[in-house]
């Protein structure tokens, strides 16, 4: 598992969904503790279906 300082959240600019590494993505079968940069390239926002490129870092704390 990654250290807390590496576990930043990212927000989808289209729909506002926030990817939280502490929670993972149950719908997308992404386990808790998976860093955003470690998500598979084919992973999509579970709300609007947009690609990872549409996410922005929300916080680095």
User: CATH number, domain at 35?
Assistant: 2.20.28.10
Sheet holding 18-19, edge to edge: 18-19, 9-12, 55-59
Q: What pLDDT does 8 receive? A: 86
Q: What pLDDT does 52 receive? A: 94
Q: What is the DSSP letter of 5?
A: G
pLDDT in tens, 2-59: 555 567 899 999 999 999 999 999 999 999 999 999 999 999 999 999 999 999 998 6
Which range marks the domain in which residue 49 is found?
A: 4-59
C-beta neighbour count of 39 within 10 angstroms: 19
Q: What pLDDT does 20 receive? A: 96
Q: What pLDDT does 60 receive? A: 58
**For the chain, how many structural domains are there in total?**
1
pLDDT exceeds 90 at position 61: no
């Amino acid at each position: 598992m990654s250290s807390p300082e590496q576990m930043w959240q990212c927000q989808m600019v289209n729909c506002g969904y926030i990817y939280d590494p502490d929670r993972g993505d149950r719908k997308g079968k992404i386990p808790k503790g998976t860093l955003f940069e470690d998500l598979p390239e084919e992973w999509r926002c579970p709300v609007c279906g947009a690609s990872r490129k549409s996410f922005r870092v929300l916080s680095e704390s």
